[in-house]
Structure 1
């Protein structure tokens, strides 16, 4: 390095966004002579989350995917719908595998320093760590701004919160070729809540209870619903809980993109990289990291064209409806995931659909609350 603790680029946070951005820099010759700092307070060795996403083609993530599915189920009290994802596949990556993969590549990169340190503040080009202060030409910051917590009540904001059990049975109980996208037969009060089942083998699966609302549950309440679902709907009495995962994802139309500054670009959830209507983030981190790289190479602002599209308007409408009528979630998702062409929903959620396709998706929901939310969005 030319100067102690001075870098061309600094990335604060080694989550999906920070690590994918680091990996793309390493793999692009443009950054060979650029010094890169990666800061995170954690070792990033534990399996602290699971990422799922759909893709048409094979990608570098196939080597990390512990399971892939071509068939999904949508279930409610009235029906069970089986849908063929082709040409898509639904893929599952465990964070521990992703962290190990990223670490192995980063350790070989001579121009990257990974420092275990919490960041207390960023002031223009200065990063205040626990023991040292670092200087960087440009900083990519994944920390959620304090203003979000202070002002989120002024926006349509929900939380996607969940708890999942990796369970194992003695005898075959699952079809590893079919996953359950959403099962609404068991709900917490009149909320948008459902169970998600990802079979990994005939004798193992991740069963996860998920809510899209504004109220976290006591920890034992998640356990109650998981146990009830497994007992009642999977009809399993003898099983072992091998692992537990739990988390929450902010779902908000808060303008995270307004926190970019001359020397700092917000990334990940803090940069609006998580689709607020669904909570999917891993593929967004992949796509948006590529956009950041191309913007830098072309001399543009790194965040140009990211998370400011018409899709954020759709997300705002969606959140408006669920924030005012959380009980409508089942009906909304039923109409989305039981469409004859489920692929159009994936294109919509991947922000790859045309405006005419978007209108078809929106019209298919056909509820007065959506039209009111649509008008409210364009009045504001």
Structure 2
């Protein structure tokens, strides 16, 4: 993979241009260019040429983030996995603990810097892949291609033309929706003086924290060793908190709930993830498509994005390999989107008690089955069985009213918050 940071105007053309070096952009580059992804793709008489446009070092480049997902024990990105767990727990507000083993699945954590390093290393010697360190400003459709207009770190213009462009940049505003909540959080990477964590067990939701008047709050613990862990405080609500409020909540959680004793805060992350039933258009113009969170890969009810982005990019690579258009597949089924819309509305209206809802769901459903459900990999019969574990009448009432609710644009302040760069992304 050659570097193109010093490109002159109109010097680089490629079959495929990818904007953004986050999870979705790197996953797509990997899937298109290597046999370890969705297979090496060819076009005409040779391989697809790929140009990857990544923001240079500076304020526009996102800080390091955390992504979590689950899959069977072995995975193609295991070399970048920071830690993984075979058991999950959920603590109810009354202290009741549910959960258990994940069977063949492992719950995995990847840090964005490690993922980028791994993908870059795998692409490094491929002549048909080129990396451009530049800020993309505009995408224009032309008669036979699309053109991405960029500025390099030293201020020079660089235009990259591609037969197809995949854009993973955040949207300037959220699409209209019936319900929009924010999943916002702050996490500490801590080290304790004494062993305090079970490295094989992750606490997915801990509701033993004070609950807000609207929405819900929970703790989240990912052990990295007997004395090390990522400990987060997360809320589902309509607006984020100040940093001081998050830190107070984390101090209470680590001291009064987890009783960790003296600890060292070694690093921190903070972020905001929109949870919305908005419809995200994946086709942005002739030969231009949106991928990742901008293409609807974030699951509305949970905030998980990484696995859906990989499904999207794998589908794109398979389509191009088969000679099809390369359109972006829907990351979630219509049934999954409908169920999430009902749950979001029920939470937002207060018809269901959030901590009780999730605690009951995990208490009545085996963790492995529930993770497959959250990943959209269960059938209709399994979905119905899981549905009987939640409050029926509030959910039914919400399902009946949804078709009559208008989709409204997000408020200006909420849109700005939701699309702002974050210092981490580690949904529950």
SS at match of 1:129: strand
SS at match of 1:201: coil
What is the match of residue 346 of structure 2? 321
1:343 aligned onto 2:379: no
CA deviation map 1:171-200 (0-9, x unaligned): 212111211110001135233110001111
Relative to the length of structure 2, the TM-score reads 0.82
Q: How many residues align?
A: 376
Task: Assess if the C-alpha contact under 8 Å between 2:16 and 2:162 holds in 1.
Answer: yes
Gaps of 5+ in 2: 3-9, 152-156, 406-428
1:177 aligned onto 2:200: yes
1:30 aligned onto 2:10: no
Where do residues 203-282 of structure 1 align in structure 2 (5 Å cutoff)? Answer: 203-257=227-281, 259-282=283-306
Question: Higher RCO, 1 or 2 (CA under 8 Å, sep at least 6)?
Answer: 2
1:139 aligned onto 2:165: yes
CA deviation map 1:152-182 (0-9, x unaligned): 4x43111111110000122212111211110
Gaps of 5+ in 1: none
Task: Assess if the C-alpha contact under 8 Å between 1:47 and 1:94 holds in 2.
Answer: no
What is the match of residue 126 of structure 1? 147
The RMSD of aligned alpha carbons is 2.2
CA deviation map 1:248-301 (0-9, x unaligned): 111111111355433111101000111111111111122221111112233144
Mapped to 2, the partners of 1:104 and 1:42 lie a distance apart of 18
Mapped to 2, the partners of 1:89 and 1:318 lie a distance apart of 26
Relative to the length of structure 1, the TM-score reads 0.92
**In the alignment, which of 1, 6, 11 is matched to residue 13 of structure 2?**
6
Mapped to 1, the partners of 2:331 and 2:230 lie a distance apart of 32
1:372 aligned onto 2:397: yes
**CA positional deviation for 1:210:** 0.8
CA deviation map 1:23-53 (0-9, x unaligned): 0111133246222111121449986111111
Mapped to 2, the partners of 1:313 and 1:367 lie a distance apart of 15
More helix by percentage: 1
What is the match of residue 330 of structure 1? 355
For residues 160 and 182 of structure 1, do their structure 2 counterparts lie closer, same or farther at Cα, with a shift above 3 Å needed?
same
Mapped to 1, the partners of 2:282 and 2:201 lie a distance apart of 41
Mapped to 1, the partners of 2:57 and 2:263 lie a distance apart of 31
CA deviation map 1:210-269 (0-9, x unaligned): 111111101110000001111101212311001111111111111113554331111010
